[in-house]
Amino acid sequence: MIFDYALGGLVTVLLLGYLIYALVRPERF
């Protein structure tokens, strides 16, 4: 149960980081 929660949190952080990176550097997309 704790592992599933940690995995979900990690995926959420990665997605947020990718979205922020795409917004900061739009010339690469």
Q: Which residue has the tokens 């947020």?
A: 16
The average pLDDT across 7-26 equals 94
Q: Which residue, 17, 16, 18, is CA-closest to 29?
A: 18
Q: State the Cα angle at 16 between 24 and 8, rounded to 5°.
A: 165
Domain count within the chain: 1
Q: What is the pLDDT of residue 29?
A: 59
pTM above 0.85, yes or no: no
Map residue 25 onto helix, strand or coil.
coil
pLDDT number for residue 6: 93
Of 9 and 26, the structure prediction assigns the larger pLDDT to 9
Three-class secondary structure of residue 29 per DSSP: coil
Report helix, strand or coil for 15.
helix
- The domain containing residue 16 runs over which residues? 1-29
Q: Which two tokens stand for residue 29?
A: 């997309």
pLDDT in tens, 15-24: 999 999 989 9
Q: Mean pLDDT, the chain, as a whole number?
A: 90
